[in-house]
Amino acid sequence: MRRRWRDLWVLGAAAVGFGSAIAAVAAAAGGTAAAGSSSDRFIAGAHLPPLLTLPGEQVTLRYAIVCSPADPAHDPVGTPCDGGGDVYARAGHSGPYRRFALVRGGDTRDGRDFAELPAAIAASPDGFSYYATLRDNATGETTTLPAAGAAAPQNSYPIADATTVDLGPHRFGATRAPDARVVRAAWGAGAAEAGLSGGPGDARVGPASFDVAPDGTVTLLDELNRRIVRWRHGVPSALPLDVATAIDDMAVGPDGSIYVADGTRQAGTTPMLRTFAPDGRLVSAQHLPERTWTQLRVGPDGPVVQEHPSEQWMPRAGASDGRAGRPLADGSRLIVLRTGDDEVRVARVVNGREHDSWRVRSDTPLGEVQLADVTGNRLVLVVKAYVETNDEFEVLVLDRGGLVRRFSVPSAAWAETAPLARFRLVGTSLYQLGSDSTGVFVDRYDLGGVS
């Protein structure tokens, strides 16, 4: 379990670079069949979309392609293959596409293909859009990224006037204490406890996710005990929930509905999004269009899932409605891109155009962006800073002028959770899900007058 989630994290959520794509897509590909094929034949692709670009930036679209193994008994997840395909790209977000054949250069490994976009497309002031068809040359199997192809292509936007914030080096060990510890639960199966699996030599897995309501009620997904536990005004209550004992993600809607993105899947299928009534009854179960996900949130029109490999946010309606960026209540979309190991780009896009944007640079390597959300007219960003021997989370409050507030918090990641499920923003309070050898907890950090 640890290998699968860490690989997916590297490729999609953390996006540390294309060099890890082959291993990651191979780990994720097993059992993901191409349309119309049997479950033991598949082609899978991985791609890190350049969602936000700078003026004059060269754009090269890179893909990792994994195909059915020659010997499934000894190689169940597949290997980089003799693949190929085409990219269909256009300037802006409407009109006809131009075809660009994927090529494999002498300095690339098997399974890595690319297409360099001309400046007429990549430097368009309106951004650009594209999709790709990938092919296994040995069998003719094909797949499309994003899943809906031309109906919902990948969109990229220029950020010509981004506010730049230089963090310099991260200072480890200077973390801020929380304003309150709102939940504390020991490991176990009791009414106010939380399940734990694993141990020495194996991955420790605890509650996979949590959510916080506007009134401060905390809901913990205790999937190992097949339930949720709610703390309302500090008083816990457990509710049975028919969820898999896997690393799931969860979000709670305004009406109390509970949404769970399933961390398991059977061969030849994609993960499930399950909807439960506030009393725990299963209302619906729907397959996600793509082979895995990185996070689940509730948008203005219901649950949205950031899916992999497209990294698009998709509502329950399916792949044809997938778009870059998480939808916000004001109608804008929030797009996040981590590029390299020293920069995070964030933009609010309104009606297909950049409204606000930021470039956050760091002398210390940056890992996954755990949270990007808005409060009032400001952006709250939580990103991991790491070195070989240590890691912490940087909490940044930004406005159009730059950095408003900055502090760091401990990783508190003794037990594993869903990949991007450790933080929630409610109003001007930031909540963190953490754990240690004695149990799980939720801490609250008040951000003050940031709206």
The residue ranges of every structural domain in the chain are 2-158, 166-446
- Among 320, 355, 361, smallest CA distance to 335 is for 355
pLDDT at 265: 64
pLDDT tens sequence across 130-156 = 999 999 888 888 999 998 999 999 999
CATH, range 166-446: 2.120.10.30
Alpha carbon of 214 to those of 255, 445, 448: distances in Å?
A: 12, 15, 16
Strands 154-158 and 52-53: parallel
Tell me which DSSP letter residue 319 carries.
G
CA of residue 376 relative to chain centroid, distance: 23
Q: Is the pLDDT of residue 32 over 50?
A: no
Q: Which two tokens stand for residue 310?
A: 């497209």
Question: What is the residue whose two structure tokens read 């399950």?
Answer: 274
How much of the chain, in percent, has pLDDT values that exceed 90?
A: 68
Q: Is the pLDDT of residue 9 over 60?
A: no
Give every CB contact of residue 206 below 8 A, 6+ residues apart in sequence.
187, 194, 195, 196, 224, 414, 415, 416, 417, 435, 440
* Average pLDDT of the residues in 391-414: 96
* Average pLDDT of the residues in 321-337: 94
Give every CB contact of residue 256 below 8 A, 6+ residues apart in sequence.
277, 278
- Domain over 2-158 is classified CATH 2.60.40.10: yes
- Among 398, 364, 359, smallest CA distance to 381 is for 398
> Is-contact 211 204, C-beta < 8 A?
no
> Is-contact 56 123, C-beta < 8 A?
yes
Say whether 166-446 and 2-158 share the same fold.
no
* Mean predicted lDDT score pLDDT of the chain: 87
Q: What is the pTM of this model?
A: 0.89
Question: What is the residue whose two structure tokens read 């300037």?
Answer: 91
